[in-house]
Amino acid sequence: MKKLLRLKWLGALALLFVLAACSPSDGDAADTTEAAAPDTTEAAAPDTTDAAAPDTTEPAPAEPIKIGMLTDLTSTFAPWGVQVRDGMLMAAAEINAAGGVDGRMIEIVQADSQNDADASAEALERLVEDGVVAAGGIISSGVGVPTAALAEELQIPLFMVKSGSDAVLTQDSRYSFRTCLPAAPMVAGPILQYAEEQGLTKVGAVIADYAWGQAVKGALETTFEGAAVGIQIEVAPVPPDTDFTPYLRALTEFGAEMIVSTGHPPGSGPITVLSQDFLDVPIIGAWTPLSLVVGRLEQAAIGRYADFSCADYVSPEYEEMARRYLAFSDNTFMSDDAVAGHGIVTMVADAVGAVGDDPTAIAEYLHGQTYDLEGYAHEMGWTAWGELASAQPIIVVVTEGPAPEGVNEAGDWWVDLLVRSDPLEPYVP
């Protein structure tokens, strides 16, 4: 009975891992009341209206710069999406407080992707109709693939945050940009790098039998081929009630010194909990907000759960940024999704300041830039088709803490750096 209840709880846990116009002034708009009144004097005085009456008309406010936020706010990936939202809103607030872009304020126009292909495509079309110069915040490949294709058609810059399918970009993509999670074929490099640095000889992996999982499987097989580190990959079903016990037993028999669950996002939590009965080894997760993981796994995560991040959680720059974020947002932790959202607005604002509101000019400008964004683990820049040109994600492991003061309101836990990736070779579609 105890085991049955535990599996039901783990199934529930897995679900969580799978979210005004002023009158125009022509120079003669002074108060003309006196000049318009009939002259009742015998000898009319000279008309000195223009010289005597000050112009009190204020100039019309500059049009705002509209940037679209398209992310999951109500569905599976809402915990990721609310982080993106608040990162974008914080960047806009900070830029506006500093005077905006050449005096123009930034307006974030929000749309919910609902983690649905049709809904996200319709939302992107509405954002374009509303006059946004760019949009960003895409979470999940199911949304990334159709919206990236539509962005190319509509010629509007679109930024992915966590949409790693290798089908998101094509060699002809010019308006779609990754910002945090690189293409799935690129994620295996840091895993092998860590294994080699630690002298591991055997790595186990559990991947989900769907597009993302199979892409990670192919990346692991290609990356580990010929390496001194052996790898064994178990393919598990996607449903959240999956019992991972058989797969963990197989990896125990293999002698795995680390388990990679990056290819099975819904299974990362249950695998971390269940693996305690088999192997006391690090579990590499699937780019999940750490506050979400630790909040559900609690002590099972401490010293064992590790994950990727495009944010440099161990840098002073991230710490300072996180303190501002926690003062701004109701979220209790600043995930790398929020850092990416902040970066998207920062880059679009820079582009508008340089080339104006034209989306095509903005996309062309961005392709020629590199950015040292606040809180990031690597330089931001792209290939001609929008892949991250110099991605260097980090992998961190959850620790008891304590966290630096004012940086984590989700608990006392914090993170240690496991590995800082070497620059990853961009994936070519």
Q: What is the CATH number of the domain that holds 124?
A: 3.40.50.2300
Distance between CA 307 and CA 173 in Å, rounded? 29
What pLDDT is stored for residue 55 in this prediction?
55
358 domain residue, yes or no = yes
Number of domains present in the structure of the chain: 2
Same domain, 190 and 272: yes
- Is residue 268 domain-shared with residue 336, that is, in the same domain? no
Residue 290 lies in a domain: yes
Rounded Cα gap, residues 191 and 341, in angstroms: 26
Strand partners, 104: 101
Q: How far apart are the first and last CA of the chain?
A: 49
3-state secondary structure of 396: strand
The torsion angle over the Cα atoms of residues 334, 336, 338 and 342, rounded to 10 degrees, is 120
Query: Residue 256's closest CA among 230, 274, 237?
Result: 230
Give the count of alpha carbons within 13 A of 214, CB side only. Answer: 6
In the block, residue with structure tokens 């039901």:
8
Determine, yes or no, domain membership for 43.
no
Task: Say if 195 falls within a structural domain.
Answer: yes
Q: What is the pLDDT of residue 211?
A: 85
Considering the domain architecture, whether residues 301 and 239 belong to the same structural domain is answered as yes
Together in a domain, 235 and 289: yes
pLDDT of amino acid 30: 32
Instruction: Note down pLDDT in tens along the chain; length 429 residues.
Output: 333 333 333 444 444 444 333 333 333 333 333 333 333 333 334 444 444 555 555 656 789 999 999 999 999 999 999 999 999 999 999 999 999 999 999 999 999 999 999 999 999 999 999 999 999 999 999 999 999 999 999 999 999 999 999 999 999 999 999 999 999 999 999 999 999 999 999 999 999 998 899 999 999 999 999 999 999 999 999 887 889 999 999 999 999 999 999 999 989 999 999 999 999 899 999 999 999 999 999 999 999 999 999 999 999 999 999 999 999 999 999 999 999 999 999 999 999 999 999 999 999 999 999 999 999 999 999 999 999 999 999 999 999 999 999 999 999 999 999 999 999 999 999
Q: Name the amino acid, one letter, at 384.
A: A
Asked if 300 and 407 sit in the same domain, the reply is yes
Q: Are 123 and 113 in contact (CB under 8 A)?
A: yes
- Degrees to nearest 5, angle at CA 138 with 134 and 142: 130
Q: Is 94 helix (H, G, I), strand (E, B) or coil?
A: helix
Per the domain annotation, does 334 fall within a domain?
A: yes
Q: What is the CA radius of gyration of the chain?
A: 26
One domain for residues 172 and 192: no
Omega of the bond leading into 64 within 30 degrees of 0 (cis): no
Q: Which of 290, 347, 323, 335 is nearest to 91 (CA)?
A: 347
Q: Are residues 257 and 131 in the same domain?
A: no
Task: Print the domain residue range for 257.
Answer: 185-310+394-420
Based on the fold, state whether residues 213 and 244 are members of the same structural domain: yes
- pLDDT for the residue numbered 102: 97
Quote the DSSP letter at residue 19: -
Per the domain annotation, does 252 fall within a domain? yes
Q: What is the pLDDT of residue 240?
A: 73
Residue 1 domain-assigned? Answer: no
The answer on 351 and 221 residing in a single domain is no
- Residue 143's alpha-carbon distances to 19, 120, 342, in angstroms, are 11, 7, 20
Instruction: Output the CA torsion 177→183→187→189 (10° steps).
Output: -90
Say if residue 89 is in the same domain as residue 195: no
Query: Do residue 303 and residue 319 come from a single domain?
Result: no
Query: Is position 325 within any domain?
Result: yes
Q: Which helix (H) or strand (E) holds 268?
A: helix 268-274
Instruction: Give residues with Cβ within 8 angstroms of 175, minimum separation 6.
Output: 151, 152, 154, 155, 156, 157, 158, 359, 363, 386
Residue 332 and residue 284 in one domain? no
